[in-house]
Structure formats: structure tokens, C-alpha cells
Amino acid sequence: MTASTVTAVIDLDLIGPTISRHVYGHFAEHLGRCIYGGFWVGEGSATPNEGGIRLDVVEALRRIGIPNLRWPGGCFADDYHWRDGIGPRKLRPRMVNSHWGDVVEDNAFGTHEFMALCELLGADPYISGNVGSGSVREMSEWIEYLTRGDDSPMAALRRENGRDEPWRVPFWGLGNEAWGCGGNLRAEQFASLARQYATYVRDHGDNTVYRIAAGANTDDYHWTETLLRSFDDLAAYGSRAWPFQAVSLHYYTMTRGWSSKGAATGFDEEEWYLALRNATRIEELVSRHEAVMDRWDPQRKVGLVVDEWGTWWDVERGTNPGFLYQQNTLRDALVAAVHFDTFHRHAARVVMANIAQTVNVLQAMILTDPETGALVLTPSYHVFAMNRAHHDAASLAVTFTGEVPMREVAGESLATVSASASTRGDTALVSLSNLDAQRPTAVVLDLRGRRVTGYRATVLTADALDAHNTPSATGVAPREHAGITDHPRGLEVELPAHAYVTVALDLA
């Protein structure tokens, strides 16, 4: 099949805002087998562990440079009372996880276990506090317990439970989905609560907390505007007086919507394109929320945190519907790729993002087999690995010239090529996606401003659109890509159908 050709202009010397490594963040909720059977196996497990934390999961995530981990939810966060998860495990009270499977939670994995996990991962903790069913005092005491170093009551309690030195906790969520499972609040109600709760999430010692208010669902621009407008009476005091430093946004990719999420595997081309069209909607959502924020915060002091994003398909047959276990295919990898392109383009405002979720839930990085204990790296994991050079690199604008390949999907136009780029020092990385299910595409990289002294390419693709990895078949993985050649304008890159390609450049 004849490939179309599109040209992408990249000025390698015109750097943009820095792409925070934290847009490659992750999310671990007490949901299904994410914590129990994913991160946590217990100290008596035959699976190699350190203090009950599964080490092969830790090692895999360290390889992709996990920058932060959000916990304990999600909807679970606004039912979670942190004092239930400290002290001797055999004495911890049990609770019902009413959101996810209506199962009994024994609180074996709590604050100390989570902080130990973050230390093993080398990741910053992002804790979601309980606004929905908690109290201001409860949240205030949790941050004191974690981060205060003197002999305060909560610091003393932490020492009684075996931790002498305080931890560093840079990120704190003020509730989760307050418009839904976090309290079913109106925007105006939550804006007032967020200001109140944030006041008591204090900086103790040298720990400075970045407070993130529970933000909008998808296209609820009124919610974002209400949160930003709540700063208006504080404007004279400057951004240091603002109660929170960021607002969040949640968006999930499905085939048609909540009533028809679609199958994770076995889908046809129509479902392939519907899902990818919906994935590319993240550009519209971020752009419009950003425009609302710009009205109230033109200097961009407040960050946008997309702390739940990813695919949400129908659960795998035979699994608990409340555990949200789904297979992860090449399609999921391309959904991740187009999200990252958007986050890179909006690096001035998007300061963090967290894929949902890390292990065994929704668009997971890792699947663990409950029967054999085997660990599987998903196609989405490999996109994170291929993009690691974007972490904390300066963004570069990618401008397409001429006609970009398009496809009509349910009455809308889908650009089937997506791209972003960044640079650091004498290197650059270009990310390229071909969303077309059947047709290859050639991209001419018109590289300007700096001399390219070397290059290499990596490709992630497979024969089938729903190709995925299992304990016995792990063929959906990156490999060296030979389809890159010199071109009078720079380089020409062949993009196979349904493929993700990264091009690493050496620069003079």
C-alpha cells in the first residue's frame, strides 16, 4: 500500500516550556488487584519482596523513571481514614471498599507501606486527602504525621509506629471527583471547601506542599472557572497566598461513552478509530480548560494536573466487574502516545498527569497473573519507556506543512499522524504516531537551527490491532526501526500502519 508523505518542521534551537517529568506520573488506588496482588504481596509471600512490596514491579517501574505515584484513590480516597492504616497490621480495623467490588479491606497497606513503596521506586508521593467523608482536622493531622520533625503530637505518633525521620511529601490532593463520588458537590460548594481544607494542609519544616484541588470532569469548564474565580479576593496578596497551586482534570477514553465502553480486545476497525478519535479529544479539553484558567490566571501560576486519564474498557470476562481489570493492547499504547503529545504541547500549564492505573487496573503499565505470579509489561508501558528522554526536557514545536492525513470518524475528522518533540543539551527526541489502521505514512522531519550528527529510531507495532502481551507471549515491544534515512531537509521516517516511533537525535 502506497504511503502518504507529510512534512513536520522542527526548529531545534527555538525551545519552549520544560516538559515536567511529572506528566509521566502514575496512580495506585485500592481497587481490584492494583495494591493487593500488584504492589503488595505481604512479607510472607514466596514472591520476592521487601517488607511486603513486590520487587519485580518496583524494578520495572524504576526502569521507566516513575516520577510520582498518586494514592490512595480515586473514589477510595474520600472513604479512607488514614489512622486505620497505621500501627501493627493485626490491630488495624477493617473497612468495606464500597466503590470497588464491595469487598472488605484489611488496611494492611497504609501510610508507612505507601511511603516505603515510594522510597523503593524513587518516586515522589502524591497523596489524595479525604474531603468527602473526612474532616479538616483529619487532613491536617495526616500532613503533620508525615512531614513534621519535632516532638509534635503527630510526629510522636509516627515515631511510636517505627519511623523517626519525617518524610518528604511534595504533592497533596484536596479530595477527588468532588462533583461525583467525592461528595456530589456543586462547584461553588467545593471551591469554599477547597480553600478551607488547603489552609490546614500546612508546610512543616522544610517540606513545601503543592496543593491540588479536585477539578473538573471532562468538559465541565464551569467547575474550573469556579475554582480559579475563588482566588479573586486574594489577588492583592499574590500567588503565595493562594490556597492551592493546581486544579485537576479527569478524562477517560472509551469507544462511545459510559454506556458502551467497548471491548479491550477483539474490536474491529470502527472501534479502533472511534477510540482514537476520542483519545485525541484530550487536546480540545486541555486547550479549553487552559483558556478558562488564562482568564483568571494570565501569568500561569496555577497548574493543570490531569491526574486521571487513560482507557476504560469493559472488564475481562470472568473477572469481578468492580475490579476494572482489562487487557492492554497496541491501541492503548497509541492512546497514551497522543495524550503525551498534548501534554508536551501544553507544558506551560500541564504540570502533572497520572495514568489510571499502574498495575492490574484500567490502562495498566503492568499486569500480574494471579495464578502463576508472572509479570507482564504492557504496550502502554513501552510508550513510557520510549518517551523517557522527554522528562524535564525543553519542548519543541512541531508544525506540519501541507496536508496531514485525515480520516472521517462518525462525522468528525481525525488526523492520523500525531507528533511532539523535545531537546536537552546536545540531544533531542521526536515522537511520531500513525493512527491509521491500514496505511503506512512517511514523515519528512524538516530539522532547522542545529546540525544533526547522528540519529536512531525505535518502533512499537504489531500485526494485529489488538495485539497484546501475556505471560507466554511478549512480542509487543519496542525494536530498532530501520525505516529512517537522510533527506535534503533532514530525515525521512517511515511510519508503519498502527505504529508508534521515536527518533533520537544527536545535535551539534
Helix (H) or strand (E) holding 355: strand 350-356
Residue 163 CA to residue 247 CA, distance in Å, equals 32
CATH no. for 23-391: 3.20.20.80
- Fold type of domain 4-13+395-507: Immunoglobulin-like (2.60.40)
The yes-or-no verdict on residue 239 having pLDDT over 80 is no
Residue 304 CA to residue 249 CA, distance in Å, equals 7
Residue 240 pLDDT class (50, 70, 90 cuts): low
Residue 242 pLDDT class (50, 70, 90 cuts): confident
Residue ranges of domains in the chain: 4-13+395-507, 23-391
* Per-residue pLDDT, 233: 75
Angle at the Cα of 250 from the Cα atoms of 366 and 196, rounded to 5 degrees: 115
Instruction: Please state the rounded mean pLDDT for residues 70-78.
Output: 97
Average pLDDT, the chain: 96
Nearest to 414 by CA among 431, 441, 436, 433: 436
Return the percentage of the chain with pLDDT > 90, whole number.
94
Could you read off the pLDDT of 275-328 as tens digits, one per residue?
A: 999 999 999 999 999 999 999 999 999 999 999 999 999 999 999 999 999 999
The yes-or-no verdict on residue 96 having pLDDT over 80 is yes
The yes-or-no verdict on residue 403 having pLDDT over 80 is yes
Question: pTM value?
Answer: 0.96
Could you read off the pLDDT of 357-399 as tens digits, one per residue?
A: 999 999 999 999 988 889 999 999 999 999 999 999 999 999 9
Residue 424 CA to residue 415 CA, distance in Å, equals 28
* Per-residue pLDDT, 238: 62
Catalytic residues: 177, 308
Instruction: Please state the rounded mean pLDDT for residues 175-189.
Output: 97
Residue 67 CA to residue 57 CA, distance in Å, equals 15
* Per-residue pLDDT, 2: 52
Return the percentage of the chain with pLDDT > 70, whole number.
98
Give the contacts of 243 (CB within 8 A, at least 6 positions apart). Answer: 194, 195, 198, 199, 211, 231, 234
Cβ–Cβ under 8 Å, residues 319 and 375: no
